Amino acid sequence: MLGSGKGSNFVAIAQACADGRVPAQIALVVSDVPEAGILERARARHLAAAYLSPGKFRTKLDEEGELSYIAKLREAEVDLIVLAGFMRVLKGEFLRAFEGRIINIHPSLLPAFPGLEAWKQALNHGVKVTGCTVHFVDASVDGGPIIGQQAVPVLDDDTPETLQQRIQAAEHELYPRCVAALARAQVRVQGRRVMLTGPV
């Protein structure tokens, strides 16, 4: 798992692994932020956790950083890379190294509201329903094939903060279910379409 922040989605998935809802184990947690909460939470669960320098760029890994991330993940023999609030765009070499094995969660019903602060975008557009999406990561921004989605109603008195909290609660339900479906080999990809042979 890769993350830059507090790691609430990490906790949801780690708990689902621990109680058997996800038939997998977390091999490694990596962050591009030395003091990230996700690293503390991983260590508290006695999981391997490491800070790796992202390099000189603010929004992506530089070439050296990319190679160190690839090497560390290969060393851990990971089958799947789960992004949990990892705030850097992944590019060419990284995507090629783990093609079809990187997933992300986004706080909207993609393709609506890609990019940052999707809950604010939803409020500003006046939609009545938003939600979250788990998708494969490709070279597009929040545009890879969709594995699963969960709707969240937008209430009349919602603020950005209250809407974000309810979307996060939905993420904590959806993300473990999608990881479990992948671990059980219940996900097939044909072009842009994802077929599920079991429930998400």
Q: What is the DSSP string of 22-61?
A: S------EEESSTT-HHHHHHHHTT--EEE----S-SSB-
pLDDT in tens, 174-194: 999 999 999 999 999 988 899
pLDDT in tens, 41-82: 999 999 999 999 999 999 999 999 999 999 999 999 999 999
Name the catalytic one among 106, 125, 135, 172. 106
- Domain of 69 in residue numbering reads as 1-99
Number of domains, the chain: 2
- Together in a domain, 78 and 120: no
CA distance 36 to 33: 5
- Together in a domain, 95 and 2: yes
pTM, full prediction: 0.96
- Together in a domain, 196 and 118: yes
**Sign of dihedral through CA atoms 181, 80, 171, 143?**
negative
Annotated catalytic, 106? yes
- DSSP E strand boundaries for 59-128: 81-82, 102-106
- Together in a domain, 80 and 110: no
Strand 49-51 vs strand 81-82: parallel, antiparallel, or unpaired? unpaired
CA distance 68 to 71: 5
- DSSP label at 4? S
Boundary residue ending a domain (39, 65, 99)? 99
- Together in a domain, 59 and 136: no
